[in-house]
Amino acid sequence: MPKLNPNQIWSGDLNRIAMPKPAPASVGLYDTTLRDGEQAVGVVFGPEQKLELAKLLDSMGIDRIEAGFARVSEDDSRAIEMILAAGLKAEVWAFARALIEDVDAVAKLGCRYTIIEAPLADRKLSALGVSREKILQRITDSITHANRQGLCVAFFGVDGSRADLHFLEAAYKTAIDAGAKEAVVVDTIGIAAPESVAFLVMRVIQWVGKDVPVHFHGHNDFGLATASAVAAVQAGASWIHGTLDGIGERAGNANLAQVALALGAIYGTETNLRLDRVRAASARLREIAKYDLEPWKPVVGDNLFIRETGAVAAQFHIPEAIEPYSAEILATRRAVVLGKKSGVASIRIKCEELGLDVPEDRHAALLAAVKGLAIRKRGLLTDAEFRELAAVNR
């Protein structure tokens, strides 16, 4: 995205004073909506829907799109083929386990880039009945095979945030020695504090070398995914994984739009994400996946620039007094609505908006009528209802 206009960011001086360390200039965004996002309960994307979503993600400026898990189903394979053929600007990646058969499935589709995952936490290994030694061998065999197939590999250490650090180090070094070109720090269960994520990212950079790009893949089980992603960038991560709307299993994944906004507006770290296109893409994703969104959700929520409270509406003409950044960044509208919490200023603004000629000395009576109706209906007034009340109170 174009660098955010500082005149549209109204965060004050506190962040500049409190964070003297310069932030990284830029970071890449890796979207896994089509794979990890589809793991949200009850969500199923058909191949055509995945293609549509991939095109949306591409139009938003996403750098890398994970198109799916090639070996999981015929639908996924077909979707990856269609996305590869679409001529997107984004790099198209496929997902594979540390198994030769999974790697072959990716190569067969003609995909050049693949994540290869292996579980690293002892809890995971115990549940799967696999030893540490066996996992290290699978990592070596699968990545070596992928290299022979001409694939670029990023090694993905599943549940790495709960793994023994010595074994974690051994796994990443094994992956790099086998030919992995990139490494992903993975907080599968979303348990790592942002400080812990930064610690892990720095450790992995030490283990694999500064010339190896390090990613961060986080989940939101404790509501920390955005903060953890920001911490990862501060610690040196080159890529952040996430999804549109944060859709995903359990509490979801890191929300890439939230991460991009926080990085750009607060830290000055640029991404290629077109924030002005996120809300439309979010709306389409919700139609396809059939879920609702909290109206107070950052970036895409309906309420972000809508004001009901009278004291706030009185300042509506000065956006920087009541909002942290301009609605223009998200290409959305600002508005005042009428309800129980409205004030006289709300009446004036709404009359001007609707072209209603109500004398100022009647505004207080009209406000009382608005509040009364809002309380009776336990909700906001429509414009038609306000027009009727205004006609009576002229």
pLDDT at 22: 86
Q: Is the pLDDT of residue 2 over 70?
A: no
Q: What is the CATH number of domain 6-289?
A: 3.20.20.70
Ordered by start, the domain boundaries in the chain are: 6-289, 306-392
Percent of the chain, pLDDT > 90?
95
The predicted-structure confidence for 60-99, as pLDDT tens digits, reads as follows: 999 999 999 999 889 999 999 999 999 999 999 999 999 9
Q: What is the mean pLDDT of residues 181-202?
A: 98
Mean pLDDT of the chain: 95
The predicted-structure confidence for 287-337, as pLDDT tens digits, reads as follows: 999 999 999 999 999 999 999 999 999 999 999 999 999 999 999 999 999
Q: Is the pLDDT of residue 394 over 80?
A: no
Q: How many residues does the chain have?
A: 394
The predicted-structure confidence for 23-65, as pLDDT tens digits, reads as follows: 899 999 999 999 999 999 999 999 999 999 999 999 999 999 9
pTM for this structure? 0.93
The predicted-structure confidence for 331-372, as pLDDT tens digits, reads as follows: 999 999 999 999 999 999 999 999 999 999 999 999 999 999
Q: What is the mean pLDDT of residues 161-189?
A: 98
The predicted-structure confidence for 193-226, as pLDDT tens digits, reads as follows: 999 999 999 999 999 999 999 999 999 999 999 9
pLDDT at 282: 97
Q: Is the pLDDT of residue 1 over 70?
A: no
Q: What is the mean pLDDT of residues 7-25?
A: 90
